[in-house]
Chains A and B, each alone.
Chain A
Amino acid sequence: MIRIQNLHMVYQTERGRVHAVRGIDLDIKQGQFFTLLGPSGCGKTSTLRSVAGLETPEEGEIFVGNDLVFSSTTRKVVPPYSRDIGMVFQSYAIWPHLNVFENVAFPLREMKRRFSQQEIREKVDRALSLVHLDGLADRPAPFLSGGQQQRLALARAIVKEPRVLLLDEPLSNLDAKLREETRFELRELVKRLGITTLYVTHDQLEALTMSDVVAVMEEGRIAQQGSPMEIYQSPQDRFVANFIGLTNFIDGRVKPSPCETASIRQVETAAGDLSCVLEEGMKPGDPVIVVVRPEDIRVITDAKPRHNLFQGKVNAVIFMGDSLECQVLVGSQRLRTKLHPSSAVQQGQNISLELPAERCRALRGS
C-alpha cells in the first residue's frame, strides 16, 4: 500500500547539509500497522513527512496505493493535498478558530466530490463516535483536554476514509496513564477500519504493543525490520538490542568446536566460556557480542549441574515496583537480572546465575 524505494533526504541547515535519510526501502502491505521506531534525529519523521508530501526528498520513489506520488527521476511531486492521506500530528494541530465539528468536517469540505450538509453531518458524527467524542461537536476546539484533542485529530484524519493513515508521535503529548489506554484503542480502531497505518515513535513500548511490523531506524537507515517479537528476541545488532529493552552485553570470541554448523556453540568471554546461539558463517576467533535479556537470566539455588552457570556477587539491588533489578558482578563483567519483587537477595551476597544458551545470542562484534 505504501512503497518507498531508495529514499534519500538532505536538509540545509545553518551548520551545513544534514543527510537525514540515507536510502530507505519499505513495503507496507494493505491494512498493516507499520511502525518506524528510533531515537530523535534518526530520520523517521522525515520519512513520514515525505510520504505525506510535506517534505521533498532528494532521491527515491514513493508509491501510495498504485499511484506514484514522488519520483526523483521523473521529478514528479504530488502535493500533500492530492495524496488522499490522513495524518495526526504530534501537536495535534487542531485549528483553534473552528469548533470540533468544523475541524472534522474540514477534509470533507476540501474534497473534489461535493457532499451534502446531511452527508457531512453523518460522516462527522460517525468519526466522532468512533473516537468517543460524541456530543462534543459544538464545543470550541481549544476547550478540549489533551486526550480529547488527540482523539479529535484522529477523527479528522479518518473522516474521509483515506487509503493510508500517517501518525507522527501522536501519543507523546499525553500523560502516562492515558497513553497506555490510548495505545490499545488506537490500534483497535485502525484495525477495525482496515486502514494501512504508518506510525512514527521513539517509544519502544508503543512500537512493540501496537505494530504488525516494526522498522528500527538508526542514522537515516533501517537497522532491522520485523515483527515486534523478532525485533525484541532476535536483535541483529548492538544498536537494536540496546535501543529496545534492557540488555546485557558480553564481549567474547568464538571458540573452535567440532561441529562448525551447530547453532549453539561456545564463546570465550572474560567471565568464562558461554554456550550461545551463533549466526551462520561465524568462524572460530571472530569477535562477538553476546546479548542476553535481564529477564532471561535465572538465579539458581539448587546444586544440579547446568550449562552456562556463573558465580557472582550481588553488587546492587534496585526495587522497581513490579520487579527487582539485581546487578551481579561475575569477575569484572556486570550482569543485570530482573527478579520477582519478593526474591530474597541482599547486596554482597554470592549468587549463581544461569544464562540459558538458547536465550544468549552472539552478534558480530567490531
Chain B
Amino acid sequence: MTLSRLQLGQYAVFLFVSLLVSMPLFFLVLGSFSTAKLPTDFSLDTMSLQNYVKVYSDPGTFELFTNTLIYVTGSVAIGITISFVLAWLVERTNMQGKIWIYAGVPMTLAMPGMLQAMAWVLLLSPRIGFINKSLQSIFALDQAPINIYSLGGMVFIEGLRLVPTAFLMLVPLMRSMDPSLEEAAAVSGARPLSTARKITLRLLAPGLVAVMIYQAMTALEVFEIPGILGLPAGIYVFSTKIYAVVRSATFLPAYGLANALAMVYLVIALVTTYFYTRMISRVERFTIITGKGYRPRQFDLGRWRYPAFALVLLYLFLAVLLPFLVFAYVSFLSFLQAPSVAALQTLTLKNYRFLAQYGEVGSALRNTLLMVLVTATATVILSFFVSLVVVRSKFWGRKLLDQLAFVPHAIPGIVMGIAFFWVFLKVDFLPIYGTVWAMAIGFTAGFLSYGTRSMNAALLQVHKELEEAAYVSGARPWRTLWRVFLPLMMPTFVGVWIWVVLHAVRIAGLPLILYEGPQNQVLSILIWNMWDEGYVPAVAAIGTLLMLSLLLLTVAVRYIGFRRQLVQSPAV
C-alpha cells in the first residue's frame, strides 16, 4: 500500500516528535553510565555503574534529598496557604476591591523569579540587605537578624512565586461549587463553621490536592530561586546541584555524575507527575462543576473586610511592588547603598548609559530576540500539527503521539538542558552546540507539552463539520488549513506564542547549561553572570527594563483577553 501525502505528513510529525523527545532522554540515560571526563570522549567501553554508586554512597546526596524535601514542602505550604486565602476572599466573601486581586495577582506571573530573588537579596542579605541594615541600626545588633541565603529564604520566596498559578487554579474550583450543596448542609442544621469543615473543604479536597501536587512539581523544577539564594551559601537542591556539578568553577566538571543525579531527579519528577495525572482523573470523577452559571453564596466578613483587604495589599506589595521598587531604586545608584536622603540626591542614569555602551548587552538582546521568536514560532507550529494529528486524524499512533508530547511536562528544565547538552555534543553534524539555536530546540521540546494541551483543547472546539464543509466545498487540505483552521485558531496561536515568549525570556536554567561563550549569551544568562560578577546596579537597570516590558506584555495579553492561556495548568 502506498502512503498518501496526508499519511506521509502524519508520519513526519510522529517521527519528528519522537526524535525531539526521545533522543535527549536516550542520551541522558546513556550518559549516566559514562565514566569518560567529557561527553565527546564517550564510548561504550567506558560504561559502568560507577556514577550511580557514587551518587548513592555520597552522604551529600542524602542532604540533597532533605533539602529538596524541605524546600518543596515549605514553599508549597506557604504558596497554597496564601493563594487559598486570596481565592476564598475573592470568590466566597464580600471583601472590598476584589478587582485588585483579579488584576494584580496574575501580574506577578510577569516577574521573573531570578529578579525577584535578587531583589530580596538586596533587601535581606546579611552583608548589604537594606532591611537587615536598618534593623541592625535601629536595634543596635551586631549581626544581621535575617539571612536570605538559607533554606528559609528559598522557601519564602518560592512560596510567594507559587501564589499566582495556584490562585488561578483555585478560583475556578471555588467558583464552580454548587451552593445548594452547602445550603443542604445548612437546612440539615449545620452551623457555618461546621458546613465549611464537613462540606466545603471535603468537596474542595481532591482539587486542592491536585493543585498542591502541581505546585510541588513547579517548585521541584525551579532553578533560579535556589540558584540565586542557595548556591552562594552551598545549600543545594536537585536542580542547583546538577548545575553545580556541570558548570560551577569549584568542581571539576563530571558529566556522567550529573546525568546520574539527573536520572534520580527525573524519577522524582515522573512520580510526581504520575500522581498529578491520577489526582486529576479523580477530580474529574468527583467533579462538582455542573456548568450552571451560579454565584456561590458569599460569606459576610463584617468588620474584617478591611483587614482582609489590607492582607491582600500586603501580598501584592511583597510579591510585586517591593521587588520592583528595590530594582528601580538600585538601577539609579552609582554604587550600592541603603535608601536615604543622601542616596536619593546622588541618583544617576549612568547604569542605563552603561547598558547602552556595553557590547554584551546588545548581542544578548539580539540573541534573546532570535531565540524567543524562534522558540515561540516553532512551538506554535509544531504543537498545532501534533494536535491536528492527535485530535483530527485516524493515524494509528495518535494516542502515543499525544503522550510523547506530554512527556516534557514532567522533565525539569535542568534535566532537559543536560540531556540536550549531550545531544548537541554527540550529534555533531549540526554545528549548533552552545548557540541560541540549541537553546531554542531545548525550549521548544520543553514547551511542547503546554502548546499541545492548549491546541488540543482549542481544536476540540472547532466542530469537525466546519472542516468537512470546506472539503465538500472544494477546498484542498492546505486551503482548508489556511481558510478555516488558521482564522479560527488565531486566538490560541497568539495566546500560546505570547506565553512561550514570556517564559523563554526569563528562564535561566536551560540556557545556562546549553550556552557556550559570551557571544551566545541571552538576557537571562547575562543577568546571571553580571550578578555573579557583582555588577549589581547594572543588573538592576536591565532587570527594571525587563520587568517593565514583561509587565506591558502581560497587560496586553490580558487586555486582548487570552486569560486562559496564562494559567500554567495543562488543559485538565
Contact = CB atoms under 8 A, between A and B. Distances in A.
Interface of A: 52-54, 79-87, 89-93, 95-97, 106-107, 110-111, 153, 156, 160, 166
A90 B474 contact: no
B487 A80 contact: no
A84 B474 CA distance: 7
B474 A89 contact: no
Contacts of A97: 487-488
Contact of A81 (B475, B483, B487): B475
Contacts of A82: 474
30 contacts: A52-B472, A53-B471, A54-B468, A54-B471, A79-B471, A81-B471, A81-B473, A81-B474, A81-B475, A83-B472, A85-B472, A86-B472, A87-B468, A87-B472, A89-B468, A89-B469, A91-B463, A93-B465, A93-B468, A95-B466, A95-B488, A96-B488, A97-B488, A106-B470, A110-B474, A110-B475, A110-B479, A153-B469, A156-B473, A166-B472
A89 B472 CA distance: 10
A173 B472 CA distance: 21
Interface string B453-494: 000000000010110111111111001000110011000000
Given A87-B469, A110-B479, A93 B463 contact: yes
Contacts of A110: 470, 473-476, 479
Nearest to B396: A12
B468 A106 contact: no
A96 B469 CA distance: 12
Query: Nearest 9 A-B pairs (CB), nearest first?
Result: A93-B465, A93-B469, A107-B473, A110-B474, A80-B471, A97-B487, A89-B465, A87-B472, A110-B475
Contacts of A96: 488
Interface residues of B, number: 17
A106 B475 contact: yes
Contacts, number: 64
A92 B465 CA distance: 8
A93 B471 contact: no
A81 B466 contact: no
A106 B483 contact: yes
Interface of B: 463, 465-466, 468-476, 479, 483-484, 487-488
A93 B470 CA distance: 9
B488 A111 contact: no
Contacts of A80: 468, 471-472
Nearest to A49: B468
Nearest to B476: A81
Contacts of B472: 52-54, 80-81, 83, 85-87, 166
Nearest to A82: B474
B128 to A, nearest CB: 56
A106 B482 CA distance: 12
A311 B470 CA distance: 62
B198 to A, nearest CB: 39
Nearest to A75: B1
Nearest to A111: B474
A110 B474 CA distance: 6
A111 B479 CA distance: 12
